[in-house]
Structure 1
């Protein structure tokens, strides 16, 4: 690997790292030489995934329920007991909720906003001491938040809370980027379009739905695992050292 993209000697945490985009990114960071911690609510699934990913590099599991501020604090405490600094934080854990407009429940709205916005804020807040220790003027610590093109477009598919939650995450990220840049912490957002995940498997498993969905994408295909991994590596490496406050769509042109 070219030294511009090497993450050797760096430590990363990927929330929601057991499947989908989180796993893609964790795999990529491992391939680039980072030591990676993944966390998820399901401790058993987390341990299984960490064991599988360990064939690519040093990967560790941490069970964490980010549905509350206490969960984020417990995650930070568990990580602080094992490492002295955190070079890369990837906030990927998230959820969605779909229902017709007339019956869309307040509970669904609150759940999506909590995990997609509040939990990201809490994780950054609780992990600031470790991020500050890692960052320097020459090599800032990196926060990579996983937003969505749903936060850039009005293509909502009856997931009424999802797009607004991601738009809120985008704006939160810009605010934090401006505030933390002086502390040598960069904050950027990856805004994916369609990638294989549990959230999109109902489309992927239905040929008619998949064809209809792909028709809306200018490149006429979904994203590939290596494309997501490569973008995360770029943001976490020397390639992303001079980038902060950016919302980066990776969507085959869908946001256009």
Structure 2
């Protein structure tokens, strides 16, 4: 691997790293040389994913429920038992909720906002001491938040809280990027379109739905795992050292 993109000697935490986009990024970081911690609520799934990912490098699972501030604090405390600093934080854990407008439940709205926005804020807040120890002018610490093209388009698919939650995350990321840059912490957002994940499985498993969905994408295909990993590696490596506050769509042109 070219040294511009090497993560050798760096430590990363990927929330929601057991599957989907989080797992794609975790594997990419491992292949680039990083030590990677993944977290998820399900302790067994977390451990199983960590064992599988260990084929690519040093990976460890940490079970954590990020639906509360206490959960984020507990995750930070667990991580502090293993590392003295955190070079890269990827906030990927998230959720969605779909229902017709007339019957869309408040509990669905609150759940999506909690996990997609509030928990990201809590994770960054709790990880700040470790991020501050890692960051330097020559090599800033990195926060990579996983947003969505749903936060920059109006294509909602009856998931009324999801797009607004991601738009809020994008704006929070800009605010934090401006504030934390003086402490040598970069904050950027990856805004994915369609990638294989649990959230999109209902489309991928239906040939007609997949054809209709793909027709809306200028490149006429979904994203590939290595494309997501490569973008995350770029942001985490020397290639992204001078970038902060960016919202980067990776969607085959869908946002256009």
Structure 1 residue 81: Cα displacement:
1.1
Distance in 2 between the 1:146 and 1:211 partners? 26
**How many residues are paired up?**
256
1:170 corresponds in structure 2 to 170
1:49-64 residue pairs with structure 2 within 5 A? Answer: 49-64=49-64
Q: Deviations over 1:227-255 (max 9, x none)?
A: 00000000000000000000000000000
Aligned to 1:99: 99
SS of residue paired to 2:174: helix
Query: Which TM-score applies when normalising by structure 1?
Result: 1.00
In the other structure, the counterpart of 1:14 is 14
Aligned-pair CA distance for 1:210 = 0.1
Partner of 1:84: 84
Listed one character per residue, the Cα deviations across residues 17-40 of structure 1 (whole Å, up to 9, x for unaligned) are 000000000000000000000000
- The residue aligned with 1:155 is 155
Q: How far did residue 16 of structure 1 move?
A: 0.1
Structure 2 counterpart of 1:249: 249
- Please say if 1:35 is aligned against 2:10: no
Tell me the distance in 1 between the aligned counterparts of 2:241 and 2:41: 31
Residue of structure 1 equivalent to 2:183? 183
Residues 95-126 of structure 1, C-alpha deviations (whole Å, 9 max, x = no match) = 00000000000000000000000000000000
Cα distance between partner residues in 2 of 1:68 and 1:142 = 23
Within-5 A mapping of 1:64-143: 64-143=64-143
SS of residue matched to 1:190: strand
1:12 is paired with a residue of what secondary structure? Answer: strand
Alpha-carbon distance in structure 2 between the residues aligned to 1:69 and 1:104: 26
1:136 to partner: Cα distance = 0.1
Query: Hey, which bits of structure 1, 4+ residues long, moved more than 2 A?
Result: none
Partner of 1:207: 207
Any unmatched runs of 5+ in structure 1? none
Distance across 2 between alignment mates of 1:245 and 1:80: 27
Partner of 1:236: 236
Output the CA distance in 2 between the equivalents of 1:28 and 1:163.
Answer: 27
Instruction: Provide TM-score, normalisation by structure 2.
Output: 1.00
Deviations 1:135-179 (A, max 9, x none): 000000000000000000000000000000000000000000000
